[in-house]
Amino acid sequence: MIDAVSNATNAYLSRMPKARRKTHGQFFTGQNTARFMAGLFSPERFGGDLSILDPGAGTGILSAAVVECLQKHSSVKRIRLVCYETDPNVRGILESNLRFLADRSAIPVEWELRTENYIASQADTYNHSLYAAVNPERFDLVIGNPPYKKLPKDALEARAMPDVCHGAPNLYFLFAAMALFNLKADAEMVFIIPRSWTSGVYFRRFRERFLRDGALERIHLFKSRDKVFGQEEVLQETMIVKIRKSFRKPDRIVLSSSETSEDFSSLQTLELPYSVVVSGSDSYVFLPTSHEEAATLRKLAGFKETLPHIGLRMKTGLTVDFRNGEDLRNSAEAGAVPLFQSRHIRDGHVVFPVGKPHEYIMARQPALLQRNANYLFLKRFTSKEERRRLQCGVYLARQHPGYPLISTQNKVNFIGGSTDLPDKIVFGLYVLFNSTLYDSYYRILNGSTQVNSTEINAMPVPSIDAIADMGGELLRCRDMSEGTCDRILESYL
């Protein structure tokens, strides 16, 4: 069944330009991935009559995979399949594929193709389902590869689901939230989606809702980001999730990973406590792919504080260069203050000036100025090739006398400023953020190369006293290396 659907999909792909498909957020699941996804359901848990939903069905490869997989389950007696697809270019193929499926299936399949917008058409039901008069449609299994498309915040779909949006949403997580809504209690969904929802403030409302109403049971990660959709070039980091609609969370969760979607035969599998994977006040989802990474999460889970809990907070630098071009200066002059940037962070210290353009800014705008106090500076951007994601430097106010105020470029983050941080605390913070453990932890939490202050502020840290002690040790040994930081941190874990 999948082969036939796949052939029809390839024929469509060869005649439909990618740019046209992109306007629908359209890229298709490969055969192996579709089979793997369908195999994650537990159909034996349900009765003989199974209802299945495939929202954004494309050419129907995921429906074909589920129907094919269900042939092996003697408990399944009848299938009702509902597909949504809005793109008229693909609908003809989908319809003939669904007809083909129903003809070939050993289990009777009753199918329905809906051409309306999956999200907007359910806006009323979604927002008023608590009223008895509104009776939402619910399914046993939902399988999906949702459209990936950024929407304006006043888009029809965004307005249909205000409870999960924070600013401009992406269609993919609206599909995931609606799919969960469309499940019966205790029923299952399997989705292939980008990884981006697992951290970050934009996805927070979605994440909290999704993980409150649903229990994450299985995660599959692709290590190589470019081979997931077979011949489709998709540069998103993607994952497959299986979720049961239940407030009760499992004790453990299975995470598997494979290099590409072409080969699911050699999976690396980890089983971890649910609380290690889904964690923190922001419901982050951590995606370790090895026992070493899982150990990193466990070790830091022993620290119960966060920076804001201990009266500190990482913030993003204040000056955006291109908006303040006329105030930038190449050298010190009356009325100008140092503008600290990523390039000043060197080997754990802040080196200034380095003889490059725009190292000073006129002190005209109060919003761009901060006290000349002790800080820990942390680069916001590093390249994929760099060994460390977290790269920081200690800034000591006394090394820059004569400036009551300074400024920081928005490509650095900083901790400090609101209170005077003693040297020991700044050096203690350096021990944390220059350690291998914190660098690994951040990578597991966030796959991108950007270091966001929101995520840093949610990371577990030791008590302020312990941080000061660590700083004291570092000052005594006068060695800012990663190895020394690791050794000092180790004794506090």
Ligand X SMILES: C[S@@+](CC[C@H](N)C(=O)[O-])C[C@H]1O[C@@H](n2cnc3c(N)ncnc32)[C@H](O)[C@@H]1O
Q: Which residues bind ligand X (CB under 6 A)?
A: 24-29, 56-58, 61-62, 84-87, 90, 117-119, 145, 147
- Compute the least distance from the CB of residue 115 to ligand X, in Å: 8
- Compute the least distance from the CB of residue 126 to ligand X, in Å: 13
Buried b (16+ CB within 10 A) or exposed e, 395-404: bebeeeeeee
- Compute the least distance from the CB of residue 119 to ligand X, in Å: 5
- Compute the least distance from the CB of residue 210 to ligand X, in Å: 18
Rounded Cα distance between 465 and 461, Å, is 11
Report yes or no: 165 and 177 within 8 Å, Cβ to Cβ. no
Residue (67 or 466) nearer to ligand X, CB: 67
Report yes or no: 405 and 370 within 8 Å, Cβ to Cβ. yes
- Compute the least distance from the CB of residue 300 to ligand X, in Å: 36
Q: Pairing mode, if any, of strands 139-144 and 49-55?
A: parallel
Rounded Cα distance between 133 and 4, Å, is 42
Secondary structure of 247-304 in the HEC alphabet? CCCCCEEEEEEECCCCCCCCCEEEEEEHHHHEECCCCEECCCCCHHHHHHHHHHHCCC
- Compute the least distance from the CB of residue 88 to ligand X, in Å: 9
Rounded Cα distance between 311 and 367, Å, is 22
Instruction: Give the Cα-Cα-Cα angle 174, 179, 181 (nearest 5 degrees).
Output: 95
Which residue in 94, 181, 180 sits closest to 134, CA to CA? 181
- Compute the least distance from the CB of residue 229 to ligand X, in Å: 8
Residue (62 or 179) nearer to ligand X, CB: 62
Residue (84 or 438) nearer to ligand X, CB: 84
Residue (56 or 417) nearer to ligand X, CB: 56
Residue (145 or 446) nearer to ligand X, CB: 145
Residue keyed to tokens 């200066």: 329
Residue (96 or 117) nearer to ligand X, CB: 117
Residue (175 or 441) nearer to ligand X, CB: 175
Residue 436 burial (CB < 10 Å; 0-12/13-18/19+)? middle
- Compute the least distance from the CB of residue 28 to ligand X, in Å: 3
- Compute the least distance from the CB of residue 106 to ligand X, in Å: 23
Residue (157 or 473) nearer to ligand X, CB: 157
Amino acid at residue number 224 = S
Residue (56 or 416) nearer to ligand X, CB: 56
Residue (240 or 485) nearer to ligand X, CB: 240
Which residue in 455, 463, 13 sits closest to 201, CA to CA? 455
- Compute the least distance from the CB of residue 24 to ligand X, in Å: 3
Q: Is 215 helix (H, G, I), strand (E, B) or coil?
A: strand
Distances 43 to 50, 52, 60, 84, 324 between C-alpha atoms, Å? 8, 11, 20, 22, 60
Report yes or no: 335 and 360 within 8 Å, Cβ to Cβ. no
- Compute the least distance from the CB of residue 87 to ligand X, in Å: 4
- Compute the least distance from the CB of residue 170 to ligand X, in Å: 12
Judged by phi (left if over 0) then psi (alpha if -120 to 50, else beta), residue 428 lies in alpha
Number of other residues whose CB lies within 10 A of the CB of residue 199: 27
Residue (234 or 464) nearer to ligand X, CB: 234
Q: Which residues pair with 255 in a beta bridge?
A: 219, 270
Which residue in 157, 187, 160 sits closest to 172, CA to CA? 157
Residue (25 or 462) nearer to ligand X, CB: 25
